[in-house]
Structure 1
Amino acid sequence: MNENQGSRPWEGRVAFITGAVTGIGLGVAQAFADAGMRLALSYRNEDDRARTAEWFAGKGYEQPLFLKLDVTDRESFAQAAQRVVDHFDEVHVLVNNAGVSVFGPTDEATYDDYDWIMGVNFGGVVNGLVSFLPRIKASSGRRHVVNVASMAAFLPGPQAGIYTASKFAVRGLTESLRYNLAPHGIGCSLCCPALTRTNAWASATKRPEQFSGSGFAPAREGELEQFGTAFEEGMDPYEVGSKILAGMTEQRGLILTHPEHGPDFEEIHEKMMAALPQEEAPAGRLRIEQLRRDAMKAAEEGLVIKLDDLT
């Protein structure tokens, strides 16, 4: 099959998406299915899986390979990756989407708070990469990795310290990984959605028993539901999925889905520029930093960069 086939360049490509039967993950799955892709979808809830299967049946599409998966379970993730290859022969696209949105004052957080939120939001991405990258490298044709973070990867908040840390971590990992995958002909994108019409606000009600020792005070009656009303104003998940698909097609390293954050980025830029010391840097340091910039450009063009290239 020609991978550059007109307006459907991803037709026939096999994608694995985590957290794929609700919210953004489902929006991505639906957009990918409309583009002719074959899908393996991870899920936790049987009712959500059944509703997703009904959507595919109603569209007359091939049923996805559904895999029940806790993304923090490394052994199960490795088994899922093997099942995808056994079922489809190859796998071309990985979308690390699964996550939890849990908030509370960072100064009151416990180890359980850190371990749960970081374990899902960052550890789940790590597990996806370790399990799937060897299999994606072994496949052929158009391939891509998308790590779904959040605008919290750029914008911290007083109630979102650990959540923000997890998304900053995904951002840093993905921006570096892009340079490593380019020589293999594999695209890599960081997607940072903002407010989307999902039930992410309810994550705090799904805390596993082994992480029950939270330092965050229990939500007041109706507090989470009131917070959830903000999500009703959010972008449709299918639109987010369509923008991810377009970003992959255009080989964009950064996929921003929401246009309303221009003022935030302008403020970040101004603060960073203002924080730079107004003084001349010595020639040696300038040379090293220019080598770094040159290496990044070369890596993006597909060259393998080694430590020797940085000095």
Structure 2
Amino acid sequence: MSFQGQVAFITGGVTGIGLGVAQAFSDAGLRLALSYRNEDHRAQTAAWFAAKGREEPLFVKLDVTDRAAFAAAATQVEARFGAVHVLVNNAGVSVFGPTDEASYADYDWIMGVNFGGVVNGLVSFLPSLKAATGRRHVVNVASMAAFLPGPQAGIYTASKFAVRGLTESLRYNLAPHGIGCSLCCPALTRTNAWDSALKRPEAFAESGFAPADRSELEQFGTAFEAGMDPYEVGTKILAGMERGDGLILTHPEFADDFRAIYEKSLAALPDEEAPPARLEIERLRRAAMAAAEAGTIIGLSDLT
């Protein structure tokens, strides 16, 4: 069963990876609702769809941290299309600085968008996905930072680790409803994500980081020119959805990193025997996870 004709809501869907996903979905015959913040980007996206002779998406102006607006967006999308089958939580900010100097405002802004925006999307749209029929799927777009920390990316990394943990657990909850769930972790992509720090909202102005230096950020942004085309990321997300993949990795250049994580993790385990009672609890946990992935609703009683 394909996703052709299904309705997808994509946050941050008019630039960067979100736009690449929207274009790939459109090419596959999905109908679209896209959230946006910038009117020029919305107009450019509308022009792309018009040039292709495609149905214009429903454009929803949305701050993903605004829960009331997110709930209203879900109502608006349902009113237009009648059902929502695919949710792509993509919107995010890329803001960096030494974590030991971060202020509460830094935490509140970055976590509020990158993790809170995903939470708001799930709470607002999962009832619609559960009520819909046909093939359905949730994609939470994180980053390779969900696996790889860095000295300038502490809060950003925390937000992406949080999205990873949430998504990997959510997959087991959605399986009994026949809804697929994927964590997507793209790496360097040709976007304007480097300029997020220049768009800091006034409500979060009390930063512990040094003031954003445009020239320094522009130099950092040159790295993004070597990135993957967002449309390619979008096609890989769609292919992963069609296969039902729980994890979608779009970039191939991280084998050494994953090997190092695996080896360090194994080496950190104590070299000793675990008692039978603990081994039995972990056996039950593994069995419950396998059953959940196969579509069984798991309760606390299944873990002991």
The two structures share one fold, judged by TM-score above 0.5: yes
Distance 1:109 1:68 in 2: 30
Provide Cα deviations, 1:288-307, integer angstroms capped at 9, x if missing partner.
Answer: 00100000000000000000
The answer as to 2:119 corresponding to 1:126 is yes
CA RMSD of aligned residues (A): 0.5
Give the alignment partner of residue 97 of structure 2, picking from 96, 104, 108: 104
Q: Which residue of 2 aligns with 1:214?
A: 207
Q: Among 9, 12, 34, which residue is 2:5 paired with?
A: 12
- Tell me the equivalent position of 1:199: 192
CA 1:172/1:221 → structure 2, altered by over 3 Å: closer, same or farther? closer
Q: Report the 3-state secondary structure (helix = DSSP H, G, I; strand = E; otherwise coil) of the residue aligned with 1:260.
A: coil
> 1:218: how far off?
1.6
Distance 2:166 2:218 in 1: 33
Q: Which residue number in structure 2 is paired with residue 34 of structure 1? A: 27
Tell me the CA shift for residue 220 of structure 1. Answer: 3.8
Identify the match of residue 176 of structure 1 among 169, 172, 188.
169
Provide the C-alpha distance between the structure 2 equivalents of 1:220 and 1:131, rounded to a whole number of angstroms: 36
Name whichever of 168-177 and 218-227 sits farther off: 218-227
In the TM superposition, 1:70-109 aligns within 5 A as 70-109=63-102
SS of aligned partner of 1:279: coil
Within the candidate set 251, 271, 283, 1:258 is matched to 251
* Aligned pair partner of 1:150 in 136, 143, 158: 143
Q: Tell me the SS of whatever aligns to 1:259.
A: coil
Partner of 1:55: 48
Name segments (4+ residues, structure 1) moved above 4 Å: none
CA distance in 1 between counterparts of 2:79 and 2:230 reads: 30
* Distance of 1:239 and 1:294 partners within structure 2: 36
Count of residue pairs the alignment pairs up: 304
Distance in 1 of aligned mates of 2:24 and 2:37: 21
How far the C-alpha of 1:221 sits from its partner, in A, is 5.2
Given residue 141 of structure 2, which amino acid in structure 1 is its aligned partner? V
Q: How many angstroms apart in 1 are the aligned matches of 2:214 and 2:195?
A: 13
In the alignment, the residues of structure 2 paired with residue 28 and residue 82 of structure 1 have an alpha-carbon distance, to the nearest angstrom, of 22
The 3-state SS of whatever aligns with 1:157 is coil
**What per-residue deviation string (whole Å, max 9, x for no partner) do you get for residues 95-151 of structure 1?**
000000000000000000000000000000000000000011000010000000000
Which secondary structure does the structure 1 equivalent of 2:65 belong to? coil
Alpha-carbon offset, residue 219 of structure 1: 3.4
Residue equivalent to 2:159: 166
Unmatched runs of 5 consecutive residues or more in structure 1 = none
Q: Match for 1:267 among 219, 241, 260?
A: 260
Look up the SS of the partner of 2:270 in the other structure: coil
Please give the secondary structure, in 2, of the residue aligned with 1:187: strand
Q: Which amino acid aligns with 1:275?
A: A
Q: Any conservation in 1 of the 2:143–2:186 contact (CA below 8 Å)?
A: yes
- Counterpart of 2:265 in structure 1: which amino acid? M
1:245-277 per-residue CA deviation (whole Å, 9 max, x = no partner) reads 000000000000000001000000010000000
Letter in 2 for 1:37: L
Contact preservation (8 Å) 2:198, 2:214: no
- Separation of aligned partners in 1, 2:58 and 2:212: 37
The TM-score, its normalising length taken from structure 2, stands at 0.99
SS of 1:191's equivalent? strand
Identity of aligned residues (%): 79
Counterpart Cα distance in 2 of 1:67 and 1:135: 17
